[in-house]
Amino acid sequence: MAGPLLLTGCQSKKKPVLSGDEPVAVSDFIEFFPPLTLGFQAGDTMLNKKENDTLRISYKIFTQFVPDTVLTRLFGKGNKPGIWAIGKAGVPDGETYLLIRAGTSAKKGWVLLAFDKKDKFIAAIPALIPDNKKETSQSFVLDKRYTITRAVQRRNADGSQSEGKDVYVLNEATGQFMLILTEALDEKITELINPIDTLGRKHKYAADYGTGKMNLVSVRDGRKADRISFFIHFEKDNGACTGELKGEAKWTSPGKAVYQEDGDPCVLNFSFHSNSVTLSETGCGARHGLNCNFNGSYARRKYTKPVKSAAKNTGSKTGKK
C-alpha cells in the first residue's frame, strides 16, 4: 500500500507555471528551475536549439524577483527578451545559482543569477553572449566550485588556434561576481585576484602563503568558528601546470584542518606552523594538471596592515575642541 500512496502524493504536487502574468512566490520561482549538474558546459552553437516552452518565464514574473536592468544592459531598453529556465544549483547553507537563457530575434545568450540563502537576489553575470564573429567560438563552464569560466577560441589565418578565458567567482563580501583570473586571447598575460581577500583575518593562521605573484594559498576566517575559508592558485613549469581550489575547511585539531565535501573525491589536509602551511591531498586531480598537485609547504607572507589616511586622523583631532 505504501507504494501507491507515495506515487499519489508525488503526483499531487504540480510544478508552478511561470509563463503568465499572475504573481508567484519566490520559492515557486526558484523551484521552477530543474536541477543543474555542476560541471555544466555550453557553447554558442547550442543557442540555435529551440528551448522547451514549458520552461518559459514571462518577463513580468522574472522582473518580480530580478531587476530589469539585468536584461536591459544586454538587450537594450524597451526590449523584452524571451526567458527560459535552464537549471539551478545550490551551495549547502549558502547561495543558489539559477541559469537562464534569454534572447530576442537579434541577440541570444545565457545569464547566471545568484540568490542568497533567504532567496533574495544578489547578482547576475552574462555567462555567454556570442560575438557573432565567424572566426571565433565561445563557451562557458559552471564547475563544482561554482566558478564561472568564459572562454573564446579563435581560428587564425595561418591555421593555428588561440584561446582566451576569464574566470569569475561570487564574492561573498561584496555580493558581486568578481574576476579572479584572465588570460588574453592574443597573449598569455595573467592577473590573479584573490576572491576572499576582503574576508576577516582574525584567526592566528589567517594569512597569505606562497611565493611569487601567481602562487597563492590564502586563508581567511570561516563563516563559523570551526572553519576556515581558503583559496589556492598555483602555476608551475612556466604555466604548463596550473591548479586552483576555493572552499571551506574544518578544524580537526589545533593547527590542522581538512577540506572534504560530500560527492567530491578531493580531500585536502592543512597543517599550520608558525611561519608556513603544509598541504597534503588525495583525489584532487580534477583541480589541477596531471603532472602537478597541491602537496608541499608554503611560507607565510608578511602582512602590512592598511595605514589610515592622515587626512582622516587630522580631521578627527581637529574636530575636538
**Residues contacting 123, CB < 8 A, separation 6+:** 113, 114, 170, 175, 176, 177
- Give whichever of 1-10, 82-91, 167-176, 210-219 has the largest mean pLDDT: 82-91
Question: Hunting for cell 561576481 — which residue is that?
Answer: 177
Grid cell of 140 as nine digits = 562557458
Grouping H, G, I as helix, E, B as strand and the rest as coil, residue 141 is strand
How does residue 14 score in pLDDT terms, banded at 50, 70 and 90? low
Look at residue 56 in the predicted model and tell me its pLDDT: 94
Grouping H, G, I as helix, E, B as strand and the rest as coil, residue 172 is coil
CA distances from 196 to 38, 43, 200, 320 (A): 22, 29, 9, 38
Share of the chain above pLDDT 90, in %: 45
pLDDT of residue 315 exceeding 60: no
**Residues contacting 307, CB < 8 A, separation 6+:** none
pLDDT digits (tens, 9 = 90+) for 149-173: 998 888 877 676 778 888 899 987 7
Higher pLDDT, 29 or 188: 29
Look at residue 237 in the predicted model and tell me its pLDDT: 67
Look at residue 239 in the predicted model and tell me its pLDDT: 64
